[in-house]
Amino acid sequence: MRTFRVLVVAALAAGGLAVLAPAANASAPAVSKTCKSLNTLSKELDKADVSSGKNFNFGELKAIGAAFHKAAKVAPKKLKSALNTIGDLYAGMGDAGNVADAVAAYGKNGQKFTKAIQTYSTYLATNCLATR
C-alpha cells in the first residue's frame, strides 16, 4: 500500500508540473537587454571593415572598441568586464596609428583578450543564440 501511495504522489506531482509548464505554442520569452545589446554589437561587427587593401582603418578599430564599451553598459558583471577588456584592446589598437603599435597593444593584452573573448562567446552561445 505504501508503494502505491508513493506512486500516486509522484504522479500527482508530475501532473502538477505538466500543468505549470508552458504550452508548446506559447510565445517565446522576451529578449533580455543584454542580448539585444549583444545582437546590435554583432551587427556592427558584421559591418566593420578594418582594412581596405594595404591601408589599415584605425578609426574602425576605435569604433569597434566603443561598440564593445556600449554593450558592456547593460551586461552582467562578469560579461561587462569581458566586454570592457575587449573594448579597451580595440580602442588601444585604434589609438596606435600604425600597425606595429597596434600589434604591440594586442601583444601586451593578448592573454586577457583571449579570456574575454571566451567569456563573451560563451555568454552569446548560452544566453542569446536563439535571439539572433
In a domain, 9, yes or no: no
Number of domains in the chain: 1
In a domain, 3, yes or no: no
In sequence order, which ranges of the chain are alpha helices (DSSP H)?
2-20, 33-47, 58-72, 77-96, 99-123
The pLDDT assigned to 76 comes to 93
pTM: 0.71
All residue ranges of the chain with pLDDT < 70 are: 1-30, 50-55, 130-132
The pLDDT assigned to 57 comes to 80
C-alpha cell at 69: 564599451
Q: How do residues 24-33 score in pLDDT, each as one tens digit? A: 444 455 678 8
In a domain, 10, yes or no: no
DSSP state of 76: -
**87 in Cβ contact with 73 (< 8 Å):** no
Domain with 80, as residue range(s), is 32-131
In a domain, 18, yes or no: no
In a domain, 24, yes or no: no
In a domain, 122, yes or no: yes
